[in-house]
A and B are shown apart, each in its own frame.
Chain A
Amino acid sequence: MTVTSSGRERLSVADLDLEVVRQGAGRPLLLLHGFQTVAPDAPFLDLLGRHAEIIAPSHPGFGDSPRPADFETVYDLVHLYLELLETLRHETVSLMGLSFGGWLAAEIAVKAGARIDRLVLVDALGIKISDPETPDILDVFNAHPREVVRASWHAPKKWAPRYDDMPDDQLVRVARARDALCLYGWHPYMHNPRLRRWLGRIRRPALVVWGASDGVVKPSYGEAYSKLIPGSRFALIPGAGHHPEIEQPRAFADCVGAFLDE
């Protein structure tokens, strides 16, 4: 494993050379990111790193992780991370997914329960709850960018990324992430119609965490998600939108850390 100046390292899985952020020490926590990769200097990493050794790879097509031409679906992502679980030296690993990564985490937990110690879903996508005319998940591709910003943050003025101020390489990462997300999540939009039926297979301790002001996927969706996972707990983080780990890093780390320490 090589450490680069960006704070990102490399991790080889299933013939893929992934960019990865590592932080903290203790029991391993595989962290699957959402619409954007995890920033190595994100304060929540430091706080949560006191409870676990965080391993946060960038999905193929995101950040600096290459995406082979025939790697195009959530099916591919799920199997990549199943492979990663098998290559880790630990018998069991805790799994946390943010947003889009929460969808992946739920899929993985359904398939590989024996390898999962604890499961944390944060403002997760992945299932269909409401009637056909009610979109559960904001269409981040077809909605106006300012609507996406408004829905994503409790305090958009403070947190929404400002493209005008970003360095070039950061903008390229943003665009790469948008393209990859579109490829993986366009249709059925950000969910697997079959996943809901199988969530009952998750028999490990599970925590569903939600930003109270999330307008991308509303807290009611999170509550419904939680009810479909036997014995799971639901926790709201006040003052946070779709990214509670960014808007409320301390409350978030306290909540998740306590769960991991149980």
Chain B
Amino acid sequence: MDVWFHNEITYPFVPQDVLDRADSVRGSLPNRYCDPRVAAELFEECLDEFLLCDEVGLNVVAIEHHAGINSLLGANPLLLGILARQTRKARVLSLGTLISLRPDPVRVAEEYATADVISRGRLEIGFVKSGGSEMASNQANPINNVERYWEAIDLVTKALAHRDGPFSWEGKHFTHRHVNIWPPPYQQPHPRMWAATGDPDTVAEVGRRGMVNVMVLRGADGAKRAWAAYRRAREEAALPKVGLDHFGYAALVYVGDTHEEGVRIGEKLLWFLNTSLKSAPQYSRFLPGATPPEAAPAVYRSQPRPAPPAGDGNGKRVVSAFTNAATLIGVTAEQAMQRGILFAGSPDTLYRQIVDFHDTVGGFGHLVMVGRSGFLTHAEAERGIKLFAKEVLPRLREIAPVPVS
């Protein structure tokens, strides 16, 4: 199993009474609550943590979120450029430039190709569907977001892989009549591609394309459901089976010297769920397209009446990102550990939790560990990284990705 260190670079320093009064802690919270000097310190610390990961054998993840306390990483390619140059061994996963929000995917392909060249082929490219307040922050139409997502991925892929001079793209959402990026990516024809999504329809397409599917904080049931959809889609398309290296799982992870210490410090990571997910109704339950209109009776009312679960017409239950987020706010450490959202403990107990979860969901080849969030300190993050790399990583590496039988 490969392990990837993930840090949203959260900004937890807004006074709690301000957060309590705000409708939303993302999208609309005024940026006067973000002190750029404090942000500079945070970037300094977090970049050092990424470099420490590089030193001790962990891969690193660069994410993107906009306009909120949940992340200061509005500009993914900037972090990517720094990591590409300053790390030396780690693979660098962009997860990712929010592709359906960007007006020109060709520019994104240029950024990715350049980062891959600077890192001499250590880049991995991940795509995230985005949602909620990101639509407002980036003026992206939420209704056809998924269409733009796939068309942008097609165009980025073609731009990265094409070697024969300018080609033209006149698609539904993107037009670029003269595409010829320099430099091309270091890896041929292009870096491996990932997609972070939990909804079965999107996962099915991820499966047909053979991308790595990473499930973020979805628990065992969500992961099993999604990966079944991935495998079923490949089977239905008569495509060869893929190994466990095509599946990744992201959770909050912390290791301490003792189980008690690991849980006590790891619990701080729940800030990301309990505090930074608060989102105004226009970015969540009333976001156009977030749930099918047929689900409105369960979504629009303040006191939802019992209603049949929303379906996609094929009997599959659709769990939107909004619905998933709603179940995460207010979760306790015990619940989070039970659901496979938080793995925390001593090296032994943490290893056991991860292996149990791995076996429950039928295996996965990548663990994405969210190792710092909220008020978890720089010193705690670095201690956790070092201990994890020394005591847990070697054992997880022994879990080899095997072809799916």
Contacts and interface: CB of A to CB of B under 8 A. Distances in A.
Contacts of A258: none
B121 interface: no
A150 to B, nearest CB: 14
B268 to A, nearest CB: 31
Interface in B130-152: 136, 139, 141-144
Interface in B270-306: 280-282, 286, 288-289, 291, 293-297, 299-303
Interface string A171-210: 1101110110111001100000000000000000000000
Contacts of B295: 175
- Among A164, A166, A175, max chain B CB count under 10 A is at A175
What is the interface of chain B mostly: helix, strand, loop, or mixed?
A: loop
Nearest to B295: A175
Given A144-B23, A179-B143, A183-B144, A172 B294 contact: yes
Contact of A145 (B282, B293, B294): B282
A127 B347 CA distance: 63
A145 B143 contact: no
Interface string B255-276: 0000000000000000000000
A2 interface: no
B282 A142 contact: yes
Contacts of B144: 72, 183
A75 interface: no
A168 B288 contact: no
B307 interface: yes
A141 B293 contact: no
Given A144-B23, A183-B144, A186-B141, A174 B136 contact: no
Contact of B141 (A143, A175, A183): A183
Given A142-B282, A168-B307, A186 B143 contact: yes
A164 B298 CA distance: 10
B143 A182 contact: yes
A163 B139 contact: no
A187 B280 CA distance: 21
Interface string A70-111: 001000000000000000000000000000000000000000
A251 B149 CA distance: 48
Contacts of B139: 187
Contacts of A181: 288
Interface string A221-237: 00000000000000000
B148 to A, nearest CB: 12
Contact of A179 (B281, B289, B303): B289
A163 B301 CA distance: 5
Interface of B: 23, 136, 139, 141-144, 280-282, 286, 288-289, 291, 293-297, 299-303, 307
Closest 5 CB pairs of A and B: A175-B296, A182-B288, A175-B293, A186-B141, A168-B297
18 contacts: A141-B142, A143-B282, A163-B301, A163-B302, A164-B303, A171-B297, A171-B301, A172-B294, A172-B296, A172-B297, A175-B291, A175-B295, A175-B299, A175-B300, A179-B289, A183-B143, A183-B144, A187-B141
